[in-house]
Structure 1
Amino acid sequence: MTFRTRLAGALLAGAAVAAVPAAPAAAHPFGPPSTARISVDGSHVAIAWLAAEDDWVALGQSVGAFENPATGSVSTALTGEQKLQRSAAVRDYLLGRITVAQGGTPCPGRLESLERLVAQGARLAFDCPGPAVDLDVTVSALTDLDENYRTMLTAETPATPAQALYTARQQTTRLRFTASGGGTTAAVTTVAAGTAAAAAIIGVLVLLRVRRRKGGQA
């Protein structure tokens, strides 16, 4: 474990806060990329974005979620992770930089609970106007701090492409989800279609039997 990671862990745990510099120098834009997972169910879209501890520190410092020991006192009543969870600026930042659009129309998004933020990431939910098929997904978190940051997104619901790399220059990707990604909507449609087909077949069989009976009586 590097000193940078130990320092970030100390801040998030609430210890040695005064030793953390105000600038996001502890971030590691040249390290492994942040990751994100996306899944769809009907018109509902879920995205979980996970960053390293020191990147959460950098993000929190950039939006003022942590006190600056150089300009005032630092409260130790909350851990660094709790300060991130309670920061309206952090929430606004995430909702502004992780977005989903359908047919050029933004899908309203909301941020789920930030409990276990470091372990489980930021979980966002979006409700689109129609079933999720073609979606424009934008991820630009952290690239405003350093253009070398990247996020690797993986589709948990079958989609093309199945993975997408987001950079400062490539912040939006169009994902096309297959029929199996339609969730409840697709399932209901499939069942309805199957029921209609079965009813049609039964109707034909009944009609044939009636005709045969009439032919026998004649």
Structure 2
Amino acid sequence: MAPGRRLRAGAVLLAVAAAVPLTTLTGGVAQAHPFGDPQTALISADGETVQVTWQAAVDDLSALAIELQVVESGRTFVYQDGALVPEESDPTDIDALVAAPEFADYLLRHIRVSAAGQDCVGTAGAFDGLGDDGAELSFACAGPVRTAEVSISTLTDLHESYRTLATGSGDQGHVYTLADDTAEWTFDPDAAPAAAGGAGLARQALPQVAVVLAALAAVAVVVTLRARRRRPKPSAERVSTTHPQS
């Protein structure tokens, strides 16, 4: 279990580039687009409660809504960066997620917290601002939280290359991946609650987001050039597909 750590630009660039194998970028068709803006998570603690604010891009929320089968199955998909993704993100996809109990269940399965060797009990808040502000999750622990282990694996079940850029108090940070989905976080008991420090932490995360995106973009360019040499460029075809219902 890796501790929450300081994100140094050079180290993150190399780590992310190495973590995205070329075969992943060019392999199989997936109804997900993991190479756009990364998911983010803001992690904080207030007394006996750990708070996690999770946010994902609109097209990723659409992909999740389709995967959870909370929206209509008939969709038009297009090829983008070697993956099959919805042609457009329907605003009603977010509304469907907000209203679906499956969404809250999904988040609480894929975001987990433990402190002092005990699992903390998670609850999902209102998702009214999901598209703009993300989803708020609270985890009640057995006592005041000074350190906690936080596991995040959201969307990695849709595609193994999804990652989450998480930030915490001070300059703590962690890039969650399928292979590295748990980190330890330290909380200052005298620090202000999450609401007071959220904007500042978000600003601190911007350079880290830029580094991650630059790394992914660089790898994607190389893969695109290699793919063009190996095979004809696919036409901008549209594929009408139906998501199977269980």
TM-score scaled to structure 1, two decimals?
Answer: 0.64
Per the alignment, in what secondary structure is the counterpart of residue 74 of structure 2?
coil
Cα distance in structure 2, aligned partners of 1:32 and 1:101: 28
* Structure 2 residue corresponding to 1:118, chosen from 106, 110, 131: 131
* Structure 2 residue corresponding to 1:164, chosen from 174, 179, 187: 174
5 Å matches for 1:30-179? 30-69=35-74, 79-155=92-168, 157-158=169-170, 162-179=172-189
Q: 1:107 to 1:93 in 2, by over 3 A?
A: same
Per the alignment, in what secondary structure is the counterpart of residue 114 of structure 1?
coil
**Count of matched residue pairs:** 150
Structure 2 unaligned residues grouped into runs of 5+ = 1-28, 76-90, 194-246
Q: Deviation at 1:123?
A: 0.7
Q: 1:179 to 1:91 in 2, by over 3 A?
A: closer
Cα distance in structure 1, aligned partners of 2:94 and 2:189: 39
Write the letter of the residue equivalent to 2:126.
S
Aligned Cα root-mean-square deviation (Å): 2.0
Choose 172-181 or 146-155, whichever is displaced more: 172-181
Q: Where in structure 1 do 4 or more consecutive aligned residues deviate above 6 Å?
A: none
TM-score scaled to structure 2, two decimals?
Answer: 0.57
Percent identical residues: 37
Cα distance in structure 2, aligned partners of 1:175 and 1:131: 14
Q: Decide which structure has the larger Cα Rg and report it.
A: 1
Corresponding residue of 1:3: none
Write the letter of the residue equivalent to 2:187.
F
Q: Deviation at 1:172?
A: 0.6
**Are the aligned partners of 1:24 and 1:57 in contact in 2 as well (CA < 8 Å)?**
no
CA displacement, residues 174-200 of structure 1 (integer Å, 9 cap, x when unaligned): 1122343486xxxxxxxxxxxxxxxxx
Per the alignment, in what secondary structure is the counterpart of residue 190 of structure 2?
helix
**Are the aligned partners of 1:132 and 1:182 in contact in 2 as well (CA < 8 Å)?**
no
**Are the aligned partners of 1:42 and 1:181 in contact in 2 as well (CA < 8 Å)?**
no
